[in-house]
C-alpha cells in the first residue's frame, strides 16, 4: 500500500507539472491571439502565425490538462443514473469507465507518439509559423502519458476500494447471519 501511495505522489507531481505547462500554453495562446487580433483589425497587418499557433497549441493544451481534470474528478458523469444504482454497481461503473477511458487514452498515446516520430523523421515544418511540427504531438504524447498513469492509479484505487467494500459487506452479512443463529 505504501508503494501505491509513492507512485500516486509521483504521478501527482507529474500532473502538477503538466497543468502548469498547460496554463502557460493557455496564457501564451491568449496573448498570441490578442496580438493577432490587434495586428489584423487595428494596424491592418494580419499575422498568419497567430491563427496557426492557436490551432497547434489547442491539442497539446487539452492533452496536458486531461490528467489534472481526471485527478480532481472533473469528467462529466451521469449522476442521475448513478444515484439509482447500488454502491457496488456504482463502483463497477467507475471501474468500467476508467478502463474504457484508459484504452482510448492509450490509443491516442500510441497515435501521437507515432505522429511525433513521423514528423521528426520527415522534418516537417509548419507553413506560416516555421517551427518543427513534431513538437505538437510530443506535448500530446506527454499529456497522454499523464492521463494514462492517472487513470491507471484511479483504476487500482477503485478496484481496491471495491474489494474493501465487498469484504466489509461480506463481514456484515456473516455477522448478521451469526446473530440470527444465536437468536
| 56-69 pLDDT, tens digit each | 888 888 888 888 88
Residue pLDDT, tens place only, 1-16: 688 888 889 988 999 9
Domain-embedded: residue 180 = no
- Contact between residue 9 and residue 16 where contact means Cβ atoms under 8 Å apart: no
Closest alpha carbon to 69 in 143, 9, 140, 135: 143
Grid coordinates representing 38 are 490587434
Q: Taking the CB of residue 41, how many other CB atoms lie within 10 A of it? A: 9
| Residue 41 within any structural domain of the chain | yes
Q: Is residue 73 part of a domain?
A: yes
**Is 177 part of a structural domain of the chain?**
no
Whether 58 maps to a domain, the answer reads: yes
The answer to whether position 176 is within a domain reads no
Number of structural domains the chain divides into: 1
pTM confidence score: 0.74
Tell me the residue range of the domain where 142 lies: 2-169
Specify the pLDDT at position 77.
66
Residue 121 burial class via C-beta count within 10 angstroms: exposed 0-12, middle 13-18, buried 19 and up: exposed
In whole angstroms, what is the distance from residue 35 CA to residue 124 CA? 26
Residues 144-162: tens digit of each pLDDT:
999 999 999 999 888 887 6
Q: What is the mean pLDDT of residues 87-106?
A: 90
Least confident residue range of 30-44, 149-163, 169-183:
169-183
Do the domain assignments include residue 179?
A: no
Distance CA 26, CA 109 (A): 21
User: What pLDDT is attached to residue 114?
Assistant: 96
Q: How is residue 77 annotated by DSSP?
A: -
Asked if residues 39 and 45 have their Cβ atoms less than 8 Å apart, the reply is yes
Answer whether residue 174 is part of any domain.
no
Assess contact for 66 and 146: CB atoms under 8 A: yes
Do 87 and 169 touch, CB atoms closer than 8 A? no
Amino acid at each position: 500500500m505504501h508503494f501505491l501511495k509513492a507512485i500516486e505522489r509521483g504521478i501527482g507531481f507529474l500532473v502538477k507539472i503538466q497543468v502548469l505547462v498547460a496554463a502557460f500554453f493557455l496564457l501564451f495562446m491568449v496573448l498570441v491571439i490578442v496580438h493577432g487580433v490587434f495586428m489584423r483589425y487595428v494596424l491592418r497587418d494580419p499575422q498568419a502565425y497567430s491563427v496557426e499557433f492557436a490551432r497547434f497549441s489547442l491539442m497539446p493544451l487539452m492533452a496536458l490538462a486531461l490528467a489534472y481534470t481526471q485527478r480532481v474528478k472533473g469528467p462529466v458523469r451521469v449522476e442521475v443514473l448513478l444515484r439509482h444504482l447500488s454502491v457496488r454497481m456504482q463502483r463497477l461503473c467507475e471501474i468500467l469507465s476508467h478502463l474504457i477511458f484508459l484504452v482510448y487514452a492509450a490509443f491516442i498515446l500510441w497515435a501521437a507518439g507515432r505522429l511525433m516520430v513521423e514528423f521528426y523523421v520527415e522534418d516537417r515544418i509548419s507553413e506560416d509559423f516555421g517551427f518543427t511540427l513534431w513538437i505538437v504531438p510530443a506535448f500530446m504524447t506527454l499529456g497522454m502519458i499523464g492521463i494514462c498513469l492517472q487513470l491507471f492509479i484511479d483504476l487500482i484505487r477503485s478496484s481496491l476500494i471495491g474489494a474493501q467494500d465487498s469484504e466489509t459487506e461480506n463481514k456484515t452479512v456473516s455477522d448478521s447471519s451469526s446473530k440470527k443463529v444465536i437468536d
